[in-house]
Amino acid sequence: MGEKSIKPIFNKGPSLGARTALLILAALIIAGIYLYTDWFSSLKNKTTDLAIPFHWAADLPDRAIEIVDTKTMSRGRLEQENEALRTELLLHKRKLQEMVSLAAENVRLRQLLNSRETIEDRVLVAELIGISPDITTQKVIINRGSKHGVYVGQALLDANGLMGQVVEVGERSSRVLLITDSTHALPVQIDRNGVRLVAEGVGNPNEFRLSLRYVSNTTDIQEGDLLVSSGLGGRFPEGYPVAVVTEVEQHSGREFMQVWARPMAELDRSRHVLLVFDESQPEEE
């Protein structure tokens, strides 16, 4: 027998390199069609929907950690956060109060400046820096003294009316006796008719008011009358608002009426005040 050619069991196909190149070319063609044509648009939408569960599953560990942290948060941590929030709230409230206080102070200063324009006498702006600790007296301390030309007996007023007079003078501060002190008396007159009276302090630490002394039953005085300084005695300048009559009590069988008045000055609120100089006092250089 002659030699017969032996046929291979498997036919030999393209080489590995050729098959790889063919696959790469096919992949690029499919990718191009997918990206730049609408042929696979329905497949794109389905792919997006199919990917949602995988994204949700991938996010599960983070969600689980967050849930565990929330559930296992200690009571102490919650109390600390609440305390921090309360502190922050108080700080914001304090800032708001400061703004309100500054606005109110600006109003008072404008009122004080307006009242100064109506005063012909020489004046000096001062500030209240303290009150007397003795409840039996009604005195305040201001931040002006002999260095600023302040003298004993000098009248003090705020934007609304007379407050008192200086009784003690230091170099940089002075003590003022308020018109409502029980030892203080002030000559006044009714602005409506010019009737002259004497207003005395009651000295009640819980209520600022004045009592009018020796008011005859025949005196023309009524609630709402404005009392102004009469200028008698030379201690207070004439024509400054002092008080408003609040009560007039007539008693049968008595020679005098009982009359009460409320000071015009805000004795328990005013902070910025004016010192009025007497014309006979030398002006500070």
> pLDDT band at 10, cuts 50/70/90?
very low
- d(C-alpha 175, C-alpha 162), whole Å: 15
More confident residue, 43 or 233: 233
Domain architecture of the chain: domains with CATH: 123-276 (2.40.10.340)
pLDDT in the model for residue 14: 66
> Has residue 269 got a pLDDT over 50?
yes
Q: What is the mean pLDDT of residues 109-119?
A: 60
Weakest-pLDDT range from 10-14, 88-92, 144-148, 182-186: 10-14
Weakest-pLDDT range from 49-58, 93-102, 125-134: 93-102
- Calculate what percentage of the chain has a pLDDT beyond 90: 30
H or E element in which residue 64 lies: helix 60-71
pLDDT in the model for residue 207: 81
pLDDT in the model for residue 203: 85
C-alpha to C-alpha distances, 241 to 9, 14, 119, 143, nearest whole angstrom: 130, 119, 12, 24
> pLDDT band at 243, cuts 50/70/90?
very high
- d(C-alpha 182, C-alpha 131), whole Å: 16
pLDDT in the model for residue 188: 94
pLDDT in the model for residue 26: 76
> Has residue 121 got a pLDDT over 80?
no
> Has residue 139 got a pLDDT over 70?
yes
Q: What is the mean pLDDT of residues 124-137?
A: 86
- Tokens 């794109």 correspond to 44
Weakest-pLDDT range from 58-62, 131-135, 261-265: 58-62
Weakest-pLDDT range from 103-112, 145-154, 209-218, 233-242: 103-112
- Calculate what percentage of the chain has a pLDDT beyond 70: 67
- d(C-alpha 273, C-alpha 150), whole Å: 13
Q: Are 123 and 188 in contact (CB under 8 A)?
A: no
pLDDT in the model for residue 233: 81
Q: What is the mean pLDDT of residues 1-8?
A: 49
> In the predicted model, what is the mean pLDDT of the chain?
78
pLDDT in the model for residue 9: 47
55 SS3 class: helix
> Has residue 79 got a pLDDT over 70?
yes
CA nearest 125: which of 270, 13, 14, 10? 270
Q: Which two tokens stand for residue 179?
A: 């018109």
